[in-house]
Structure 1
Amino acid sequence: MVVPTAMEQAMQDIMFIFHEHAGEKGYMNKEDMKRMMDKHFSEFIKNQKDPLAVDKIMKDLDQCRDGRVNFHSYFSLIAGLTSACNEYYVSHMKQKPRKH
């Protein structure tokens, strides 16, 4: 049995989560996005001061203005949130190397 690497598993999870919420139609609408964000980004949503945060995210991701978020746009959200988390990690949490 081949066990995927941590990175391969993360990529698979990102893909499967999109398809879990997009379903057979192949895109997420606003309700799908809300369910996905509530389930997989609950801490992010809980810490938003703006009750319309998901609506604004949806508007940013809906490039064609058709009420649909495709995989490419969804992945842009994942990349953006990961980048923001990295910036926070680097500035607040990463420990400086200790001198021996």
Structure 2
Amino acid sequence: MPSQLEGAMGALITVFYNYSGNDGDKHKLNKGELKELLHSELSDFLTSQKDPMLVEKIMNDLDTNKDNEVDFNEFVVLVAALTVACNDFFQEQNKNAK
């Protein structure tokens, strides 16, 4: 039975490949695939944002090699950054609750 961390790693891989390759390279997300992934998997995050260009900005920030696609490494950077932001938020909430 996998540990929690191993399960989380497996989930990241599974989510990425569930959305990648529908319109091309199976190892990359194009803009449409990234948008679908974000809207399906991070809908609460996206609905709380006010910027209608957010997905476009995320794509531009993640696409470090500027090929208009996001590979798995670039995707993991997004997940890590969001996880850090969530951790910072909850740490601040805990400080304020004391």
**TM-score computed with the length of structure 2 as normaliser:** 0.89
| Aligned-partner residue type, residue 45 of structure 2 | F
Q: How is 1:71-86 mapped onto 2 (pairs within 5 angstroms)?
A: 71-86=72-87
Moved over 6 A (4+): none
Displacement of 1:93 after TM fit? 3.9
Specify the alignment match of 1:35 in structure 2. 36
- Please report the RMSD computed on the Cα atoms of aligned residues, expressed in angstroms: 1.4
Q: What percent of counterpart residues are identical?
A: 36
* Structure 2 CA distance for aligned equivalents of residues 93 and 56 of structure 1: 30
**TM-score computed with the length of structure 1 as normaliser:** 0.88
Specify the alignment match of 2:71 in structure 1. 70
Look at both structures and tell me which one has the larger radius of gyration over its CA atoms: 1
Count of matched residue positions in the alignment of Structure 1 and Structure 2 = 94
Q: How is 1:9-48 mapped onto 2 (pairs within 5 angstroms)?
A: 9-23=7-21, 25=25, 26-48=27-49
Query: Please, which runs of 5 or more residues in structure 1 have no aligned partner?
Result: none
Task: Describe the SS at the equivalent of 1:28.
Answer: strand
Query: Please, which runs of 5 or more residues in structure 2 have no aligned partner?
Result: none
| Aligned-partner residue type, residue 11 of structure 2 | D
Specify the alignment match of 2:52 in structure 1. 51
Displacement of 1:67 after TM fit? 0.6
- Greater mean deviation of Cα atoms: 62-71 or 83-92: 62-71
